[in-house]
Structure 1
Amino acid sequence: MQTPSFLPLRPLGKTGLEVTALCVGCAPLGNMPETFAYSVAEETALATIREIFRSPINFLDTAASYGDGESERRIGIVLKELGGVPQGYVIATKADRDLKTNEFTGDQMRRSVERSLTLLGLEQLPLCYLHDPEWIGFEAAMAPGGPVEALRRCQEEGLIQHLGIAGGPIDMMQRFVETDLFSVAISHNRYTLLNQEAGSFWDVCVRHQVAAVNAAPYGSGMLAKGPSNYPRYMYGEASPELIDRAIRLEEICKRYGLPLAAVALQFSLRDSRIASTIVGMSKPERLHETIALAQLSIPDELWSEVEALGPAQR
């Protein structure tokens, strides 16, 4: 696989893995209408996954909780068709609580990892994150016999190659990164044109040599589809303040003849602290649209106008 010049491979922190600046988010492919307000049929998902493995984007992100295993199962179907993970591609998943009972223990982490291996058809997970630890808190996650210890044991046994942390609250995420137990960290919906709360978190990642991955640069859709078409942020109804800022951003982009989605995406891509940016994909066309948005030329004057709007939520 050869990557084009606009999408070069880059090191994923200290893991030794090399990934593209764009990462395909596979949550929508798990068919999660309660989260995204739309469904993705299996054939559409499979067609999208097949297209990913023909694309220059070499990094895929999924989780045990996406469709309660459905995203991983669908990826596994295509991997079986291909005879395994094509050379040069990196698949990351996340170990999750039990979605039915909310059990979030060390034993559940092992069950989650083992199910992910089965659904994906892999013998080892190249990268596995502890997912959404805000459900139990830092202390419980780090307790003896708890989730982190269980995942580290899975890593020692060779079930996981590299361990990451993926969650919401920035103060909690910083505490996990500062343990120096994780190689990669994901923050989602908190570094966009509308919310830059994770800005200081990227600095913490840099100091601890942890690869920073920014998920949901569109804020779960509003910055891609536009505030009028999709007035939602972080998987729920957007506040009037966020909608107003999105409208003003959209007006700036229109004056330059550029889509808001391109500016929202490149806001993340242009930050040197971020190793890769996760964008959710729901159909094959979306993949090609995203690659095109990443290539559009955006003048410095536009970025100056965006900055002149004043700070986003922090």
Structure 2
Amino acid sequence: MQWTMNRLGRSGIEITPLTVGGAPLGSMPGNFGYEVEAEAGIATAQATLTGPIRAIDTSCAYSRGESERRIGEAIRRVGGVPEDFVLATKITRDLDTGDFSGEEMRRAIAGSLERLGVDRVPLLYLHDPENTTFSQATEPGGPVDVIRELKDAGVAGAIGVAGGDTATILEYVETGVFDVLLTHNRWTLVNRTADRLIDAATERDMGVVNAAVFGGGILAAGSDGRTRYGYREAPAVLLDAIREIERLCAEADVPLAAAAVQFSARDPRIGTTIVGVSRPERIAQSVALVERDIPDALFDAIDRAVAHLPADLGPR
């Protein structure tokens, strides 16, 4: 299958509408509720490198580098990163000490490149800068300076900022330094708080990457037996809205997961949507979700179903 590639803003990157999310394939049971054995993670990464989705996203923080290690082994098995493939990773604080200095960013990228078995990545993000202050991150020699230097040195083809809290991430978008924005859990069927942030990035010709469209799983598998959204307990009003969306999808004979993916993928501002996978067969299933025909009327009904939700509901 050949997809039309999307332009990722001014980054110079052309990318498929979907990107495979590397967090679950490294095994993060605390977030996703299940273990992923090493060989299963490697096999999934290998299937990604040779499959229709031509991008994978990971981080030095995912399972303390295990996601990168497994992807690196898959890269070795296929003989290197394919020329048309977008490999993205992220650098962030030391998870034990909280160190978010420029020097820690240098240590982080060195570790990432070693685990991945590459000397550069097409896309590199500053990950979760909510864990430091904007003034510290932007001081001379700080994380923002370092990631910009990594781009200038060719270690990163393009640079982005990835995080959750929309007000914090907006400050980084407004610097004009970054080529790409990655937002997660804030532009989904039930959480629209990233709307202004996405607009701000689009106005600056930044590429926009949207992640966690399943809200940690509940918008894929449904609310039966599930009470968490965005890796935390969901309030009753949010669960009620999800159940109403499930009802609307059932009436339209559309899988909830397809609606969740296409809510993002059909948005012209979104360059690519990240879907986490942990088994090779999930790749083809994800492609089928984004290719399914869904009437506009369903999304109109979903919009009405969530219009009453408070603006400060869930992660901001």
| TM-score interval for Structure 1 and Structure 2 normalised by the shorter chain | over 0.9
Other-structure match for 1:292: 288
Asked if the contact 2:49/2:75 (under 8 Å) is kept, the reply is no
Unaligned runs of 5+ in 2: 312-316
The number of residue pairs the alignment matches comes to 310
Other-structure match for 2:56: 60
Question: Residue type of the partner of 1:94?
Answer: K
1:11 CA drift (Å): 1.3
Percent identity over paired residues: 43
The SS at the match of 2:190 is coil
Asked if the contact 2:53/2:283 (under 8 Å) is kept, the reply is no
Question: Residue type of the partner of 1:76?
Answer: G
The answer to whether residue 150 in structure 2 is matched with residue 172 in structure 1 is no
Asked if the contact 2:190/2:306 (under 8 Å) is kept, the reply is no
In the alignment, the residues of structure 2 paired with residue 151 and residue 97 of structure 1 have an alpha-carbon distance, to the nearest angstrom, of 13
Structure 1 length as normaliser, TM-score? 0.96
Question: Residue type of the partner of 2:118?
Answer: L
Question: Residue type of the partner of 2:107?
Answer: R
The answer to whether residue 257 in structure 2 is matched with residue 261 in structure 1 is yes
Asked if the contact 1:31/1:67 (under 8 Å) is kept, the reply is yes
The SS at the match of 1:206 is helix
In the alignment, the residues of structure 2 paired with residue 75 and residue 310 of structure 1 have an alpha-carbon distance, to the nearest angstrom, of 38
The 5-angstrom pairing of residues 271-286 of structure 1 reads: 271-286=267-282
Asked if the contact 1:197/1:313 (under 8 Å) is kept, the reply is no
Other-structure match for 1:49: 45
In the alignment, the residues of structure 2 paired with residue 234 and residue 15 of structure 1 have an alpha-carbon distance, to the nearest angstrom, of 28
Other-structure match for 2:179: 183
Asked if the contact 1:28/1:36 (under 8 Å) is kept, the reply is yes
Aligned pair partner of 1:69 in 42, 45, 65: 65
The answer to whether residue 93 in structure 2 is matched with residue 97 in structure 1 is yes
Other-structure match for 1:223: 219
In the alignment, the residues of structure 2 paired with residue 259 and residue 286 of structure 1 have an alpha-carbon distance, to the nearest angstrom, of 15
1:313 CA drift (Å): 5.0
Asked if the contact 2:190/2:241 (under 8 Å) is kept, the reply is yes
In the alignment, the residues of structure 2 paired with residue 212 and residue 159 of structure 1 have an alpha-carbon distance, to the nearest angstrom, of 21
Deviations 1:95-125 (A, max 9, x none): 0111111111000000000111111111112
Deviations 1:269-309 (A, max 9, x none): 11001111111111112211111111111112212221222
Structure 2 length as normaliser, TM-score? 0.95
Asked if the contact 2:219/2:257 (under 8 Å) is kept, the reply is yes
* Of 299-308 and 141-150, the range deviating more from structure 2: 299-308
